[in-house]
A and B are shown apart, each in its own frame.
Chain A
Amino acid sequence: MSRRRPNHSRRNFLRKAVAGAGATAAAVVGTRASEQQGSQTAAADAAARNAVAPIRIPPEFAAATAAQPVTFQFPMTGAQVFARACKEEGVAALFACPGNYAVVHAIAAAGIPAYGGRHEGSMAHAADAFIRVTGEIAVSSGTEGPGFTDMICAIACANAARTPLLIVASNMSIAMEDTEAGIQLGYQQPTTEGLKKYGKRLIIPRRVHEYAGYAFRQLKSGVPGPVHLDFPAEVASARFKDASELEFFHDKAHYRTDSRPHPSPKDIARAIDLIKTARRPIIVSSNGVFYAKAWDALKRVAEKAQIPVVESGAMKGQFSDASPLSANAAPGALASADLVILVGQHCMPTVGEFAFGPDAKYIRIDQAHSDIGRNLPIELGIVSCELAALEALADAVPAMTHDSWIAEIAAARKRFEDQNLEYYKTGLSYGDAVHPAVIAKELGDFLYRGKLPKEQTTIASGGYGIARFVRRELRGFRPGQIMNGAYQYGAIGPDLGYAVGVAAAVQLGVGPQAAHQGHPIICTTGDAGFGYTAMEIDTMAKYKLPVVTIVYNNNAWGTWTGATADPKAMPIHLFQENLRYDKLAEALGGHGEYVTRPAEFRPALERAYQVAAREGRPAVINCQGKKEFWDRAKYPPGAIGKVEPGTMSYYH
């Protein structure tokens, strides 16, 4: 029997196609008697051809959910040893793209919830955001070379935000070091220099568990920051028959401690003296309070001594904005403080970046002895875990009153809210597009003054120009409620990546999100930011992450005003006008809304939220604004700024 090879050449394909077209033409000129019947058949054929399969989630997702996690026992590979350490240390989620296969597969197999996305950078941003709203460690992974370098911006953001983010990446093999054999050679550790707390290329397979210990010691002590490990193939694929083939294979109780530095009684006494003599003391609560889970102690100090609290940091909500002691929305009062107690403010502002006046004295409570006194002059530094220091202060401080100071804050809050209302009314008057002040106010009404419990919805707060209005309306009523997107590094593109992480945290009910598990989250962003990470709508859809993304679409980067005198440069700042980001969401399995008038926004928000809540589907509300809203002369108030710390802050 002869065997003929199939001829798949391009020429053969074209020949068949032409013959097929000829046959079709012949059919068209067939007998008139069969024309009507033929036309019905053709219509049916056309309909069949045009019918497209619906977007669907592959069945493998359900299978993954149903699969039992593996408890790795010897014999193990290096990747499995590392994954087991991650599991033992309570790593709460993995965000990755394919690559570094042995390690990510082992981490997923170990039962650590795993999310795969469209871009390693987005996934690392997701891990960062997940940590910022849970306080728990998450890991992000990418392949050697491009996957790793795609994560650089996210590592930098996490570093600026002092996020304990674990970054792992594969990195070729030790045996082929420097040869450029294969692809993707890169020296990873120098690339993350200055962007991490600790990093290591693992080069001795039998020390893989020891270096897991190095990583978790850094992630779980002192001031947090990213840890970056790169795995050559020899380490990930090494095989160990038993523990004797590994160095330092022992329980975490023997390679790190949960002990924390406590304040000296002398320092606490001095702090109490300063508090007693102050007339207008204020506490700045930042990252350290969140990671130390010190919010109850913070509340105790504030209420006992009647000291107002204002927040800064990469997340907000440690102190409830429902309290009359909250100064988050009282920027006009901050300059009056005469004693500022900075707690866990790892990213220090310089003089002039915080609103406090020149006569304010500062107490700084921080775990990093070497950082106390940097940038802002201190009256007293207290080296301590934030929780221990706040508990000591709560015990030692006498009951006090600061009635006139609290009244001043209340008056400033009223002025701020009146100003917001004024912006809203002005925004409404611009009826031909949606002004950001309208979005901000309507969103605030929906989240905090409508049917939803005000502490329910977690926010991934992002964007550039839109953020300057929305932040004025966002409030935190419980820890981890607001993820402060850009923060000090200022990247505007990560927002949808951040939203994946925030939504995953809420979906899993990790840490402070437990009480709000399963509820939709809100992501605010601009059209510029949306462009970077919009493909993650697919990630949201396939994992059923109910994210309502509000895109402020003003057809431009928020920076366009800086190019008004440079016509040749202006197009750098502009996009096509009236782009349909809502359609993009629909194409990726999400729900889309397009809003072009102020009155349309709230109903669209209600519909989008319902879809997210009911179907677990992401939604995008494309709010059509216009770039000229930043022009103060034509459209007051124009582009507005921020005051830090408090609800508007994002640098610190």
Chain B
Amino acid sequence: MTAALGHYADRGVFRGFRATQEARGRVGYDFFWLTRRPMRAVFDGRGVLTFPALLPKPAAAIVSEIRSMVAERSTRAVPDHKRIDARRATLTAKVRSGDVSLAVDIRGANHQYAVSKTLNLVNEMFVALHERHPDYLVEHFGISQE
């Protein structure tokens, strides 16, 4: 997993990328990517990569849109190259303490595949927020109000 994520740091997509060994075989990843706020992902060592509190305290409308985007990812509503093959990985979005977390459950050695699909989805989530909910990004991610 570290190699799969580190690939994006090597290419200059992530900045300040750091992997930290944590308790119970977990690995934490901290980096900057789409905004000036740090992002965090945690790999549980058994095959699940989670972005905890990816979106802090979103409104119900945002949660609904995010859930739709995640669900759509395994359907024919999206082009082939965006679709996630459930035999290789599955995505879930959960709300915990009002924050949206995104998790990808990886089957077998599909780490690079799963990471790519997940990161592309995260990028699209932020594009959607930019388009329809800029005020949310201003409030929680320090995007300029101008």
Query: Using a CB–CB distance below 8 Å, which chain A residues touch chain B?
Result: 279-280, 331, 334-336, 351-352, 355, 357-359, 376-377, 404, 408, 490, 559, 561-562, 632, 637-643, 648
Query: With A and B bound together, what is the CA distance between A331 and B124 in angstroms?
Result: 10
- A490 B33 Cβ-Cβ under 8 A: no
User: Which stretch, B43-51, B101-109, B128-136, touches the partner chain A?
Assistant: B128-136
Query: With A and B bound together, what is the CA distance between A640 and B136 in angstroms?
Result: 11
- A561 B33 Cβ-Cβ under 8 A: no
Query: What are 12 residue pairs bridging A and B, where the CB atoms are less than 8 Å apart in the complex?
Result: A331-B131, A351-B12, A355-B130, A357-B119, A404-B79, A562-B145, A638-B135, A639-B135, A640-B131, A640-B134, A641-B132, A643-B131
- A642 B134 Cβ-Cβ under 8 A: yes
A352-B35 in contact given A641-B131, A641-B132 (Cβ < 8 Å): yes
Interface residue range, chain B: 20 to 34
Contact with A along B1-18 (1 / 0, CB 8 A): 000000010011101000
A642-B81 in contact given A351-B33, A358-B8 (Cβ < 8 Å): no
In the complex, what residues of A have CB within 8 A of residue B138's CB?
A: 562
- B134 A358 Cβ-Cβ under 8 A: no
Query: With A and B bound together, what is the CA distance between A119 and B81 in angstroms?
Result: 54
Query: With A and B bound together, what is the CA distance between A335 and B128 in angstroms?
Result: 11
- Name the one of A358, A490, A637, A638 contacting B146, with C-beta atoms under 8 angstroms: A490
- B120 A358 Cβ-Cβ under 8 A: yes
In the complex, what residues of A have CB within 8 A of residue B15's CB?
A: 351
Name the residue in A357, A404, A562 with the highest tally of chain B Cβ atoms < 10 Å from its Cβ: A357
In the complex, what residues of B have CB within 8 A of residue A352's CB?
A: 33-35, 126
A639-B134 in contact given A335-B127, A377-B12, A377-B13 (Cβ < 8 Å): yes
A359-B145 in contact given A640-B131, A642-B131 (Cβ < 8 Å): no
Name the residue in B61, B82, B146 with the highest tally of chain A Cβ atoms < 10 Å from its Cβ: B146
Query: With A and B bound together, what is the CA distance between A490 and B123 in angstroms?
Result: 25
Q: How far is the CB of A560 from chain B (nearest CB, A)?
A: 11
Q: How far is the CB of B127 from chain A (nearest CB, A)?
A: 5
B20 at interface by CB-CB < 8 Å: no
Contact with A along B78-97 (1 / 0, CB 8 A): 01111000000000000000
Q: How far is the CB of B59 from chain A (nearest CB, A)?
A: 8
In the complex, what residues of A have CB within 8 A of residue B80's CB?
A: 404
Query: With A and B bound together, what is the CA distance between A457 and B76 in angstroms?
Result: 41
- A336 B81 Cβ-Cβ under 8 A: yes
In the complex, what residues of A have CB within 8 A of residue B79's CB?
A: 336, 404, 408
B75 at interface by CB-CB < 8 Å: no
In the complex, what residues of B have CB within 8 A of residue A559's CB?
A: 145
In the complex, what residues of B have CB within 8 A of residue A331's CB?
A: 127, 131
- B135 A561 Cβ-Cβ under 8 A: yes
A357-B130 in contact given A377-B12, A408-B79 (Cβ < 8 Å): no
| Inter-chain contact total with CB atoms closer than 8 Å | 73
Query: With A and B bound together, what is the CA distance between A140 and B135 in angstroms?
Result: 37
Query: With A and B bound together, what is the CA distance between A641 and B138 in angstroms?
Result: 11
- Among residues of B, the one whose C-beta sits closest to the C-beta of A638 is B135
- Among residues of B, the one whose C-beta sits closest to the C-beta of A636 is B61
Q: How far is the CB of B84 from chain A (nearest CB, A)?
A: 14
Q: How far is the CB of A466 from chain B (nearest CB, A)?
A: 15
In the complex, what residues of B have CB within 8 A of residue A279's CB?
A: 81
Q: How far is the CB of A621 from chain B (nearest CB, A)?
A: 25
Q: How far is the CB of B142 from chain A (nearest CB, A)?
A: 12
Contact with A along B45-67 (1 / 0, CB 8 A): 00000000000000001000000
Query: With A and B bound together, what is the CA distance between A427 and B118 in angstroms?
Result: 36
- A357 B120 Cβ-Cβ under 8 A: yes
Known: A352-B35, A376-B12, A562-B138. 11 other contacts (CB 8 A): A336-B81, A351-B13, A352-B33, A355-B127, A357-B120, A358-B116, A359-B119, A404-B79, A559-B145, A641-B130, A641-B132
Query: With A and B bound together, what is the CA distance between A641 and B126 in angstroms?
Result: 12
Q: How far is the CB of B19 from chain A (nearest CB, A)?
A: 17
Q: How far is the CB of A489 from chain B (nearest CB, A)?
A: 10
In the complex, what residues of A have CB within 8 A of residue B145's CB?
A: 559, 562
Among B26-49, those with CB < 8 Å from A are 33-35
Query: With A and B bound together, what is the CA distance between A336 and B133 in angstroms?
Result: 21
- A280 B81 Cβ-Cβ under 8 A: yes
In the complex, what residues of B have CB within 8 A of residue A357's CB?
A: 119-120, 123-124
In the complex, what residues of B have CB within 8 A of residue A637's CB?
A: 132
Query: With A and B bound together, what is the CA distance between A490 and B144 in angstroms?
Result: 11
Query: With A and B bound together, what is the CA distance between A377 and B11 in angstroms?
Result: 7
Q: How far is the CB of B128 from chain A (nearest CB, A)?
A: 9
In the complex, what residues of A have CB within 8 A of residue B82's CB?
A: 336
Query: With A and B bound together, what is the CA distance between A639 and B145 in angstroms?
Result: 11
In the complex, what residues of B have CB within 8 A of residue A642's CB?
A: 130-131, 134
- Among residues of B, the one whose C-beta sits closest to the C-beta of A561 is B135
A359-B116 in contact given A280-B81, A335-B123, A351-B34 (Cβ < 8 Å): yes
Query: With A and B bound together, what is the CA distance between A398 and B82 in angstroms?
Result: 27
Q: How far is the CB of B51 from chain A (nearest CB, A)?
A: 13
Q: How far is the CB of A647 from chain B (nearest CB, A)?
A: 12
Query: With A and B bound together, what is the CA distance between A643 and B80 in angstroms?
Result: 23
Query: With A and B bound together, what is the CA distance between A376 and B11 in angstroms?
Result: 10
Query: With A and B bound together, what is the CA distance between A355 and B131 in angstroms?
Result: 10
Q: How far is the CB of B83 from chain A (nearest CB, A)?
A: 12
Closest 6 A/B residue pairs (Cβ): A377-B12, A641-B134, A352-B34, A358-B119, A355-B127, A490-B146
Query: With A and B bound together, what is the CA distance between A559 and B123 in angstroms?
Result: 27
Q: How far is the CB of B120 from chain A (nearest CB, A)?
A: 5
- A358 B130 Cβ-Cβ under 8 A: no
Query: With A and B bound together, what is the CA distance between A293 and B131 in angstroms?
Result: 31
- Among residues of B, the one whose C-beta sits closest to the C-beta of A416 is B131
- Among residues of A, the one whose C-beta sits closest to the C-beta of B133 is A641
Query: With A and B bound together, what is the CA distance between A223 and B79 in angstroms?
Result: 38
Query: With A and B bound together, what is the CA distance between A357 and B116 in angstroms?
Result: 10
Query: With A and B bound together, what is the CA distance between A408 and B83 in angstroms?
Result: 13
Query: With A and B bound together, what is the CA distance between A355 and B120 in angstroms?
Result: 10
Query: With A and B bound together, what is the CA distance between A352 and B133 in angstroms?
Result: 15
Query: With A and B bound together, what is the CA distance between A331 and B129 in angstroms?
Result: 13
Q: How far is the CB of B75 from chain A (nearest CB, A)?
A: 14
- Among residues of A, the one whose C-beta sits closest to the C-beta of B146 is A490
Query: With A and B bound together, what is the CA distance between A632 and B129 in angstroms?
Result: 14
In the complex, what residues of A have CB within 8 A of residue B12's CB?
A: 351, 376-377
In the complex, what residues of A have CB within 8 A of residue B34's CB?
A: 351-352
In the complex, what residues of A have CB within 8 A of residue B131's CB?
A: 331, 640-643, 648
- B130 A335 Cβ-Cβ under 8 A: no
In the complex, what residues of B have CB within 8 A of residue A280's CB?
A: 81
Query: With A and B bound together, what is the CA distance between A279 and B81 in angstroms?
Result: 10
Name the residue in B11, B33, B138 with the highest tally of chain A Cβ atoms < 10 Å from its Cβ: B11
Query: With A and B bound together, what is the CA distance between A351 and B119 in angstroms?
Result: 13
Query: With A and B bound together, what is the CA distance between A640 and B12 in angstroms?
Result: 30
In the complex, what residues of B have CB within 8 A of residue A641's CB?
A: 129-134, 137
Query: With A and B bound together, what is the CA distance between A479 and B34 in angstroms?
Result: 32
Query: With A and B bound together, what is the CA distance between A280 and B116 in angstroms?
Result: 16
- B127 A359 Cβ-Cβ under 8 A: no
Query: With A and B bound together, what is the CA distance between A140 and B102 in angstroms?
Result: 54
